[in-house]
């Protein structure tokens, strides 16, 4: 990281903080007070930190999933649906499998991973063999997944007595992830998330598989000429990404909602795309950035409670931050390119970022 990059990052973060402050001020709030509340509401106490970590888990897993698919050059917008299908799988196993907690939870997580992976492979097959752009194949499958979850909740898995779209009955106690003390967060989901991030980091950094995946992502044609079976690598990327998304779905069911709800993904799939864009597709950065985003998400619900400010302000902040970082990065590259071509003896076209 050179000083230029740091200056750009500082500029972007400063710019978005300034805009956020203006946003608070425009709503008639003292910006400093709002920032203080944002901080207190997300990491100010053990309970608040635990809530932030509850958001951090699915967000980080979604981002880890997206790092894999982005490396292969894929816009896996289907990650939302893969989380939902993972949640459906986990709920199914938790309902069907009997026995002690260890058995039920392991079964639910394994089923969720398989379900998410297969759902992602569906998008992969549509892309590789059907010629359907993964953005639209993934979106279509997102809708189908939401429809399936809604159908299960109001149909076969409806609550005893009255069917309601608020969710199924709570799972039995054996299927709840063990908590840390009195807090809501479970060490199981924290450990699995840390393991997933490290796994993706090592895969992308230290293995020939990760290298080949990136080769496919940067240029399918030259990767194919080098003898890399691009289609197979894309399918594997979908499968791996879907597995991580499915894991996120199981964390949502077993560690947070304790039942199946229509929106199990909670929008974390889409938010994960912002995290990965801000991390510039690097696995090493997703955990801290996801924590920052989770803190904003949780902190703004506190703001809503205290100041009556709509919690959408969190999404606005996150969106502004990523937009500024992208624009600032582009501006910096443009300046560098211009400086380079001014020095070069013959001006030559420099390929832009794809």
Partner 1 sequence: MDAVTIASIIAAATPLVYAALGETITEKAGIVNLSLDGTLLLSAMVAFATAQTTGSVLLGFAAAAGTSAIVAGIIAFSSIELKLNQIAVGFVLFLLAGDLSSLLGQSFVREPGPSVPPLNIAGLSDIPWFGKVFFSHNLSVYGSMVLIIVTYWYFYRTRAGLELQAVGERPEAAFARGIHVERLRYIYTFVGGAFVGIGGAAFSLDVKFGWSEGHVTNFGWIVLAIVIFGGWHPARAALGCYLFGALQVVALKLQPTFPSFTQVLGIMPFPVMIFMLVAINRPAFRSLGDRLGLFRRFLRAEAPGGLGTIFERG
By CB under 8 A, name the binding residues for partner 1.
75, 126, 130-133, 135-137, 139-141, 143-144, 146-147, 150-151, 154-155, 163, 165, 262, 270-271, 273-274, 277, 310, 312-316, 318-320, 322-323, 326-327, 329-331, 333-334, 349-354
CB of 340 to partner 1, least distance (A): 14
Nearer to partner 1, 187 or 338 (CB): 338
Rounded least distance, CB 234 to partner 1, Å: 17
How far is Cα 255 from Cα 235, in angstroms, rounded to an integer?
Answer: 29
Tokens describing residue 33 = 């007070």
Contact 286, 279 (CB under 8 A): yes
Show Cβ contacts of residue 72 under 8 Å, excluding neighbours closer than 6 positions. 213, 214, 216, 217, 233, 234, 237
Closest separation in Å from C-beta 185 to partner 1: 26
Tokens of 178: 């063990």
Residue nearer to partner 1 on the CB measure, 130 or 178: 130
- What is the rounded distance in angstroms from the CA atom of residue 194 to the CA atom of residue 137? 30
What letter would DSSP give residue 108?
A: H
Long-range CB contacts for residues 164-167, cutoff 8 Å, separation at least 24: 165/262, 166/261, 167/257, 167/259, 167/260, 167/261, 167/262
Bridge partners (DSSP) listed for residue 186: 179
CB of 235 to partner 1, least distance (A): 17
Q: How far is the CB of 126 from partner 1 (least distance, A)?
A: 7
By beta-carbon proximity to partner 1, the closer residue of 179 and 333 is 333
Q: Which is nearer to partner 1, 124 or 255 (CB)?
A: 124
Residue 347 Cβ vs partner 1, minimum distance, rounded to whole Å: 10
**How many other β-carbons are positioned within 10 Å of the β-carbon of residue 155?**
10
Whichever of 199 and 262 has its CB closer to partner 1, that residue is: 262
- Shortest distance (Å) from residue 21 CB to partner 1: 15
Q: Considering the complex, state which of residue 250 and residue 318 has its C-beta at the smaller distance from partner 1.
A: 318
Nearer to partner 1, 101 or 311 (CB): 311
Query: CB of 12 within 8 A of CB of 317?
Result: no
3-state secondary structure of 179: strand
Q: How far is the CB of 4 from partner 1 (least distance, A)?
A: 16
- Which CB, 143 or 187, lies closer to partner 1? 143
CB 78 within 8 A of CB 120: yes
* Closest by Cα among 196, 177, 168 to 54: 177
For 186, the 3-state DSSP assignment is strand
Lookup: tokens for 65: 């999933």
């Amino acid at each position: 990281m050179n000083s230029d990059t740091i200056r750009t990052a500082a500029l972007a973060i400063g710019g978005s903080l300034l805009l956020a402050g203006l946003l608070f001020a425009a709503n008639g709030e003292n910006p400093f007070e709002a920032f203080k509340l944002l901080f207190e509401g997300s990491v100010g106490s053990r309970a608040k930190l635990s809530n932030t970590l509850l958001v951090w888990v699915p967000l980080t897993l979604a981002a880890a999933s997206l790092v894999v698919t982005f490396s292969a050059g894929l816009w896996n917008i289907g990650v939302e649906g893969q989380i939902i299908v993972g949640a459906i799988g986990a709920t199914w196993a938790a309902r069907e499998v009997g026995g002690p907690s260890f058995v039920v939870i392991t079964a639910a997580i394994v089923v969720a991973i398989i379900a998410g992976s297969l759902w992602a492979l569906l998008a992969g097959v549509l892309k590789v063999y059907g010629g359907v752009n993964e953005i639209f194949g993934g979106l279509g499958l997102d809708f189908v997944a939401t429809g399936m979850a809604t159908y299960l909740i109001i149909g076969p898995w409806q609550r005893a007595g009255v069917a309601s779209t608020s969710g199924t009955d709570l799972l039995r106690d054996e299927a709840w992830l063990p908590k840390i003390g009195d807090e809501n967060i479970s060490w199981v989901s924290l450990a699995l998330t840390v393991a997933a991030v490290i796994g993706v980091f090592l895969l992308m950094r230290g293995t020939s598989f990760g290298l080949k995946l990136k080769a496919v992502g940067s240029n399918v044609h030259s990767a194919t000429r080098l003898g890399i079976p691009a289609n197979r690598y894309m399918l594997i990327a979908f499968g791996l990404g879907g597995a991580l998304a499915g894991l996120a779905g199981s964390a949502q069911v077993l560690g947070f909602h304790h039942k199946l709800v229509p929106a199990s993904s909670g929008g974390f799939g889409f938010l994960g795309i912002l995290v990965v864009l801000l991390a510039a597709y690097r696995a090493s950065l997703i955990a801290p950035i996801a924590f920052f985003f989770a803190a904003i998400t949780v902190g703004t619900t506190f703001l809503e409670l205290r100041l009556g400010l709509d919690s959408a302000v969190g999404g606005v902040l996150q969106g502004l931050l990523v937009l500024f970082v992208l624009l600032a990065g582009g501006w910096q590259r443009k300046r560098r390119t211009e400086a380079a071509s001014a020095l070069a003896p013959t001006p030559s076209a420099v390929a832009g970022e794809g």
